Amino acid sequence: MHRSLCSRFVPALAFFALLLSAPVILSAQDAPPADRKKLEAELQELQQQIQALKQNPQIERSLLADVEIYGKAAEWILRHKEFYKPQYVKETYQVLETGRQRASQLAAGKPEWTDPKGTVLFGYYSKIDGSVQPYALTFPADFKQKSSQRWPLHVELHGRGGKRNEVFFIMHPNGRGPRKDHDWLHLDPFGRTDNGWRWSGEVDVHEAIADVKKRFLIDKQRITLRGFSMGGAGAWHLGLHYPSEWCGVGPGAGFVDFYQYQNHKEKLPPYQDKTLHIYDSIDYALNAADVPVVTYGGGKDKQLVSSTRMVEKAEELDIKIPLYISPEAAHQSRMPAYQNFLAQLLKISKEGRPAWPGRKQIRFITYTPKFNECEWLNIEELDQMYEPTTVEGGWMRNQEFWS
């Protein structure tokens, strides 16, 4: 199996990630022999620079990651022969050049990318496996790092690209960053390519956000999550499984369950069917009571059904999820309805999350201790795994009450 669809997954239940993200298996495609030889020589030069930096105890680990993402991107595209288009060869040269430039700047104590403008690539070392992972961050035109201002953060999850790898991601960050009149930082996680933003992809979102918080002043009450297609599936998943982490959630299209999306008619064996409650976002629709959710899509898009089903499920629970539709649009992230969708998300972002200790009233559901937090509530134990555990209630000063 192609490495980008297997080696980046956390092993547990990975077969569900494969089923639901509908992966495309690609055959290896190498660079022309002359280019491969030259690229390997340039990679060796960069790796030598990185090793020298690692020997310097005064080099910050986070800055080292900002250099190492370029070496890893080139190493992996060569190792796994992922030159799917002729442009990938040229872009690998560019990645190596930027990596060498950053290594030289860091060795001289003058890392220019730390005075950020426009879109900048950063890296972090994942707690999953110690690997270095990239993310892109786009800054407002008036961003000043030394200011005491705390900035809203928009996290946009990319869709499935099929031919995405680190080189492609570094050269083409998915999200379209803020214009001059936008006042937020825009984060594009890599998510270890196309795994439906589950397992290691899910953790990557949390780790990328944590790394941004370490580097820049972020308004923790104003973190917005959004995405389209596979990114929409990720936004449904992360938005409803972790409702207290976001001030607003904006999925477009995507998938929200296994059976409908895969058109799977026969019920899976019980040991598989039950564990779908970890994965199926629609089972967590009740949690839209704890975070504002807005969705959009095209009237001619087959994946619009994910949004309509979630809206209908929420209505059954007396929860409103606004849905904006462009009737003539197919499967495309930017459509007329997107502007109304984004305007609503921005309105929610300006309001922000309730100050500590958060919402006084919650309605929360989970099927596993993996997703056990909502505001001031922690569920430490379930009577039965993969069965619905629901908490509805709240608190008042000097008094608690539950329903």
User: CA 372, CA 364: separation in Å to the nearest integer?
Assistant: 9
Q: Does residue 2 surpass a pLDDT of 90?
A: no
Per-residue model confidence as pLDDT tens digits over 264-314: 999 999 999 999 999 999 999 999 999 999 999 999 999 999 999 999 999
Q: Which residues contact 173 (CB under 8 A, 6 or more apart)?
A: 119, 121, 136, 138, 188
Cα first-last separation, the chain: 50
Fold adopted by 3-351: Rossmann fold (3.40.50)
The pLDDT, as a whole number, for residue 121 is: 97
Helix 61-79 crosses helix 86-107 at what angle (to 10 degrees)? Answer: 150
pLDDT at 161: 86
pLDDT tens digits, 142-180: 898 878 999 999 999 999 988 999 999 999 986 555 566
- pLDDT grade for 27, boundaries at 50, 70 and 90: confident
Tell me the percentage of the chain whose pLDDT exceeds 70.
Answer: 90
113-145 per-position pLDDT tens digit: 999 988 999 999 999 999 999 999 999 988 988
Q: Is residue 65's pLDDT more than 80? A: yes
- What pLDDT, on a 0 to 100 scale, did the predictor assign at position 197? 97
User: Alpha carbon of 83 to those of 51, 80, 86, 165, 377: distances in Å?
Assistant: 26, 9, 7, 10, 48
Alpha-helix residue ranges (DSSP H) falling in 317-368: 336-351
Mean pLDDT on 69-92: 97
Phi, psi of 367 (to 5 degrees): -120, 0
What's the average model confidence in pLDDT over 234-259? Answer: 98
C-alpha–C-alpha distance, residues 182 and 141, integer Å? 8
Q: Where are the domains of the chain?
A: 3-351, 361-402
Phi, psi at 128, each rounded to 5°: -65, -50
